[in-house]
Amino acid sequence: MQIDPERLYQELARLGEIGAYTDDRTGLRGVNRLALTEADGAGRRHVVQSMLDLGLGVRIDKIGNVYARQEGREPGLAPVMIGSHVDSVPTAGRFDGCLGVLGGLEVLRTMAEAGHRPRRPIVVAFFTDEEGCRFGTDMLGSAVATGRLSLEQATGLLDAEGNRMGEELQRIGFEGEHPVELDPPYAYLEVHIEQGPVLRAHGVDLGIVTGVQGISWQELTILGRSAHAGTTPMELRRDAGLAAARINLFLHELTARIPGARATMGAIRPEPGLVNIVPGRVVCTVDLRNPDEALLAQAEAELAAFLVQVETLDGVQIEARQTARTPPVAFDPAIQARIEAAAKGLQLSTERIISGAGHDAQELARLCPTGMIFVPGEHEGISHNPRELSTMTQCGDGVQVLLRVVTELAEA
C-alpha cells in the first residue's frame, strides 16, 4: 500500500486556509487557529467532515477531544491510535500538529482504497489545546484523557481576557457527551514535524523519537512601584522591569551551568507599559526544559532561590505560579525498532532524536506503548512561524512509514 503524498499535501493546504492570515512584515501566509476560537472551531468541523466522509465513527468527549474509529476484523480488540492536534499558536505554519491528524486520515484512506481491513480497530484522534498558549497549560485535552488533569481543572482555566475554557468549548460547539477517560489503546503513533534544525542539518530523511524532555512552565508576577522616569532617582526606584531583566539574564546563565538545560522568557508584559513610567508590575513567563528530571528540578530550585535574591536587590515582590509541569518521557523501544525497520525498508535514512517540544504522545505514553516519527523541516526547521515548511516528499515519507508501522501493529 502506498499513500498519495500529493493528496496529503493538498489536505494540509486546505486546512491551512482556515484561520489563515498574511504576516505584515514578511508577506508570508500563516495560520492562527488559537484553541477554542472561531477559527479553531472551523478547523475542527473541517476535519470532522473529512472523518465522516471516510465513513468513520466519530465521537467527541467532554473536553472536546475527537476520535474517529475504523473498525477492524475483531472490533473487541484495543485499537491502534494515531493522533495529534489541529489548534495552533497565533503565528503558526500549516504543518504543526496537522500532519499527524491528516496523515492518520491518509493512512485510513489508503487502506480503504486497497480494500485492507486490519485485525484491530484504528482510531485517528485530535486533542484539544495541545499548544497551551491560550489557557496556559499545554497538551490540555490529552492530559485530561490520560488522567494527568481533571476535567474540572481544565474547564475552569481562564485565558488572558478572563474567558473560561469550558464556556469557550461550549461556544464553538465541541463539548461532547462522551466521558473523558480514555481506554488504553494497543499502541499510539504520532507523526510530526521536527520543529528544529537537526534532521535537516544532518541530511537525514526521518527522526525516530526516543522521548520528550521534561518541561516546566511558570508565570511570574513582579510587583514594584510605578514612578516618573525623569524625576525618580535610580537608587530610589522599585523597578519591576529591571527585576524581569535580571531574571531573564539569569535564565541564560543557568543554561551554561546545567547540562542539557534550555530556558526561555517568552512573554514579558510591563505595566503600565509607557515610555516615561517605571514599570510597577511585570507579568512574565519562564519555560524550563531538560531531558533529565533531576537537572530540571535543579534548574527550578536555582530559579526559586534567585527570585528571593531579586526581591531583596530590587525591592520588589515576586509571585511564581506553576502553569504546567511534565517530566521527561521515554517512548517504547519496540515501536522505535519498528519505525526504524519500516524506514530502512523504504531506503530512508533515520536518526534517533529526543523531542525538545511537548506533544500529545508524551501523555499517551502513560497508557500504552507509544512512538513518534519526526519529519525534517526547511528553513532550519523553523516552526510556530509562517516560514514553517516541510516538503511534500518529507511529509509523504513520514506518513508512508506511519502506514507501515500502523499496519503491522493493527495485525498484532
Q: How big is the chain, counted in residues?
A: 412
pLDDT for 24 equals 84
pTM of this structure: 0.88
Q: How far apart are alpha carbons 308 and 313 in whole angstroms? A: 9
CA 107 distance to own-chain centroid:
22
pLDDT for 284 equals 98
Q: Where are the alpha helices (DSSP H) in 88-211?
A: 98-113, 140-145, 151-155, 165-171, 198-202
Residues contacting 67, CB < 8 A, separation 6+? 58, 59, 60, 61, 123, 124, 125
Query: Which residues pair with residue 371 across a beta bridge?
Result: 189
pLDDT for 3 equals 98
pLDDT for 42 equals 98
What is the rounded (10 degree) CA torsion for 312, 313, 315, 316? -80
pLDDT for 70 equals 98
Q: Which of 331, 382, 323 is nearest to 352 (CA)?
A: 331
Domains of the chain by range and CATH?
5-212+328-410 (3.40.630.10), 214-326 (3.30.70.360)
Q: Mean pLDDT per segment of 10 residues, for the chain of length 412 residues?
A: 98 98 89 98 98 98 98 97 97 97 98 97 98 92 97 96 97 97 98 96 97 95 98 97 98 96 96 97 97 97 98 98 92 98 98 95 97 96 94 98 98 96
Residues contacting 125, CB < 8 A, separation 6+? 65, 66, 67, 68, 81, 82, 83, 101, 104
Q: Which three cell numbers stand for residue 368?
A: 500504552
